[in-house]
Structure 1
Amino acid sequence: MGIPQAASLQDIYQNGTWRVRPARSDKQVTVQALLSSLTLTTEPDSIFWSVDNTVWEKYSTGGIYRLLKNHGNKVPWNHIIWSKGGIPKHNFMAWLATLNRLPTKDRLLQWGLNVDPNCLLCSTTAESRDHLILECSYSASLWRRFSMRLGLTMPLSWGLMISALLSLTGPVWYKRLCCLVWKLAIYSLWVERNSRLHRQNYRSVDSLAATMDRTIRNRINSLRDANPVAASTMYQFWIQSST
């Protein structure tokens, strides 16, 4: 189109006319059509973001992500998975577990892999998500310890467990603590399962529970700057429930 590589818009726009060669392809026709719809002014150049015909004062990565993502309907358990104050890797693991997307042995067998179907935590029953995280004697023992500390009766059924978390009552800090412990338990059981599978490293329920307790205390302390009153109340509750 006869436009030098180093040309500016001012170089090819003179007296209200775009000085370019006649179009010789469909793409050039498209460019010329666009140019004909534009008019240069003497105002100084400025940079701005225009999204959906709305001018943004500053760029927002989150805003662009929300525009590009597929907006599906929110599931009812959304807020217990992505609860405020949660640990990201625990949130992600709980999300996978809720969708039943963890690569448990029952799913590996469905994919055609030749694996021992028995649970790595109890070695007596076929491994599935529900068995590994809830029904296994090892897992059930862990849940009983922390359910008692929270004053809950945690059902050993995935659907009922989600319903119990959705129907929690009490202060906001208590609900957040329950969700924090729930997701940590899922994460810890999955890590223990993988540790036995890949490194033949076995921990007792007592050892796993002690590690979880330290993680909860550290997480609560990390929330003090954002909400010191809620963090203090949560910490006192957690300490007192261990006695």
Structure 2
Amino acid sequence: MWVANYDRLPTRCRLAAWDTSIVKTCLLCGHYDESRDHLFLRCSFSEHIWKEITVRLGYRPFYFHTWTALIAWLDVGDTTSPLTLRRLVAQATIYSSPCLCKDIDRLLRNIILARKNRSKFGCLMQVWLKHTV
């Protein structure tokens, strides 16, 4: 969480600052530059997650459009949801992105392996692993 808070995550915008051949657009939506704020707060994928989380915490759905707004929400006390629970949810949400990607990767590998003898699936594993980092 502290790496995200200090904006030190290896987002595409940060990586492109070192290597201009890196495409900066978001891997999830493909529309905007992949910055920390976009990836965790503004991307349609993350907005859906935050909508579900805020409702689950007892709030009407709302979105954070800046990291500062998220941090301010994590520091203010209110009667809707306990501060500790909000902080745990925020940390889990920020942490879940790499875990989710790992789960998706594992799921796709399993699906491809289970169907490897079918003609449409024969070369999919090679294509899937081609750009693995």
Normalised TM-score (structure 1): 0.39
Matched, 1:117 2:24: yes
Contact 2:11/2:35 (8 A) holds in 1: yes
* Equivalent position of 1:160 in the other structure: 69
Query: Which string of whole-angstrom CA distances, capped at 9 and with x for unpartnered residues, describes residues 163-193 of structure 1?
Result: 111112249x821111111111111124335
**2:48 alignment counterpart:** 141
SS at match of 1:123: coil
Gaps of 5+ in 1: 1-93, 203-243
Shift of 1:148: 0.8
User: Match of 1:132, SS?
Assistant: helix
Deviation sequence 1:96-154 (CA, Å, 0-9, x none): 10100000000001122522212111122111100000000000001000111112345
Matches within 5 A, 1:80-119: 94-112=1-19, 114-119=21-26
Residue 36 of structure 2 corresponds to residue 129 of structure 1: yes
Query: How many aligned positions are there?
Result: 106
Distance change >3 Å, CA 155–CA 163, structure 1 → 2: same
Could you tell me which residue of structure 2 aligns to residue 206 of structure 1? none
SS of corresponding position for 1:138: helix
- CA 1:200–1:127 in 2, change beyond 3 Å: closer, same or farther? farther
Preserved contact between residue 120 and residue 193 of structure 1 (Cα < 8 Å): no
| Contact 1:109–1:115 (Cα < 8 Å) also in 2 | yes
**Residue in structure 1 matched with residue 100 of structure 2 by the alignment:** 192
Question: Over aligned residues, Cα RMSD in angstroms?
Answer: 2.6
Tell me the percent identity.
34
Q: 1:201 to 1:102 in 2, by over 3 A?
A: farther
Unaligned 5+ segments in structure 2 are: 109-133
Conserved in 2, the CA contact under 8 Å of 1:121 and 1:193? Answer: no
1:210-230 CA deviation, whole Å, 9 max, x = no partner? xxxxxxxxxxxxxxxxxxxxx
Output the CA distance in 2 between the equivalents of 1:192 and 1:105.
18
Mapped to 2, the partners of 1:191 and 1:123 lie a distance apart of 20
Structure with higher strand content: 1
Structure richer in helix, relative to its length: 2
Query: Which of structures 1 and 2 has the bigger CA Rg?
Result: 1
1:181/1:132 CA distance change after superposition, 3 Å? same
CA distance in 2, matches of 1:129, 1:194: 19
